[in-house]
Amino acid sequence: TIVSCNIMLELSVFIVSFVVTVHCDNLIMVQPIWRHGDRSPTTTFPNDPNQESAWPLGWGQLTPIGMDQQVSLGNALYEEYVVKNKFLSTSLSFNEMYIRSTDVNRTLISAYCNLIGMYYNRTKAVVDEDYPAHPRWPPYLVPFPVHTISKDRDYIGDPLAPDCPRRDWLLEMSLRAPEFVKLGDDNQKFLKELSDICGETIDLIKLWDIRDVILIEKLHNKSTVINDTMYAQIAVIDDQVENFEDGLGLSPVDGIDFAIEVPKVKGGGILWSILDHFDLKLFCLESNNSVMPQCRWMNSLKYFAYSAHDTTLTALMAAMGAKQKIIPFGYPTYAACLVFELWNTTSGPAIRVLFRRNYTADFEEVTHFINGCVNLSSNKCPYQRMHQSAETFYPGDVETLCKDVTSTSTDMRHQSTTAYPQIPTTSGAPLIFQSAAFSAFITVLLLRGI
């Protein structure tokens, strides 16, 4: 928009004209990844009075509390990206949004609940245009697809679901690390006592199952055989185990750098899925590329969401070098959410990362915790810097990587999983365009003799 003001006066004046150009950052794409909401236990121990019959929906199912948590998260995402940023449309758009879930009931239903929180009854949908006139149909409910892939092939959404010999081999090797050995030795007596109470052998790896069951039973006001003191001790030990399982805080064994190799095989898939989408978005925004087949879907896409698990989020954080900075110990709580934003700025593409710790928390900035993004004055990180730092954790074809149970270190960067070039390395002017730029011609009249 150009504004020009010229005032003609019958006075002697000096007329000074200059141009003020204001460049604003422009949001290009958003990728949230959340943990499902509250669920029933996935299993329990023999001496637990609460077996599967105690849970109306069965093992591992999303509860009404979990549904409510995801509706709250969806509402927060709507407020952030529709109301505040005015980025997404005010009503559901099949072209703007894509939702992917792991092939698990609780994550699939979480995704639907999240969509309800975002868009249900926000704007009046039109009967027989947006939804059917059938008397049994909920008014104004417009269904939206949630996509998935079978567990045995999902190396992106669930780091524990597919068969992965390398992941299991790395865990076995990590158990030999002095930190893991010491933790087991220091708590041998406690683990024996816990095993007697539970009616089965409990080791460090099995400890999470017990912690999970007791936490859920306490949240749902059910009786437990574990007292609060013992539960607190379980939590302290398991917090350390969970970091070890993500490759963090361990000394090398036989030359294996667990802080690289474990996040690469567990979190590299989801990290590079996010980056691949951003790479393609930037590629397709170049005018010469927008007509290419791979850009037909991406041109209008603004929002790609993942409905996943606590282990997905921690593996992703570990692959960004940020897990212990964002969550020093343990796993994310129900409905926790990481959001990756891609921006076009006056200095080129940049990334911003937000974290919502639970279903009632506000979004907080965590960009400065990511490898390559520390000590920045801005709340956005140059995309190229983050991209280069992530190359250490590039898994290539994760299924192929998973078959390697002999290499103490791997470098998969020679592989390429994309059919389009990586982001340009040029610096200076914005890669795509000067967003929301406007110029105002201001005529300043310095009057003399008045």
- Scan for tokens 């992917």, then name that residue: 100
Positive or negative, the CA dihedral 282, 286, 288, 290 is positive
* The pLDDT of residue 9 is above 50: no
The Cα 111–Cα 428 span in angstroms is: 39
pTM: 0.87
**Confidence bin at 413 (pLDDT 50/70/90):** confident
The Cα 156–Cα 413 span in angstroms is: 18
pLDDT given for residue 377 in this prediction = 76
Which amino acid would we find at residue 110?
S
- What are the tokens at 447? 């009057």
Query: Pairing state of beta strands 26-35 and 303-308?
Result: parallel
Q: What is the mean pLDDT of residues 399-408?
A: 96
Beta-carbon contacts of residue 305 (< 8 Å; ≥ 6 apart): 31, 32, 33, 34, 97, 98, 99, 100, 111, 114
* The pLDDT of residue 415 is above 90: no
Mind listing the pLDDT tens digit for each residue in 166-221? 999 999 999 999 999 999 999 999 999 999 999 999 999 999 999 999 999 999 99
* The pLDDT of residue 430 is above 90: no
Catalytic residue among 38, 154, 279, 310: 310
368: annotated active-site residue: no
CA angle (82, 83, 85) in 5-degree steps: 70
pLDDT given for residue 83 in this prediction = 97
310: annotated active-site residue: yes
The Cα 304–Cα 235 span in angstroms is: 34
Catalytic residue among 25, 36, 134, 279: 36
CA angle (330, 387, 361) in 5-degree steps: 35
Are 164 and 269 contacting, i.e. CB atoms less than 8 angstroms apart? Answer: no
DSSP symbol at 392: G
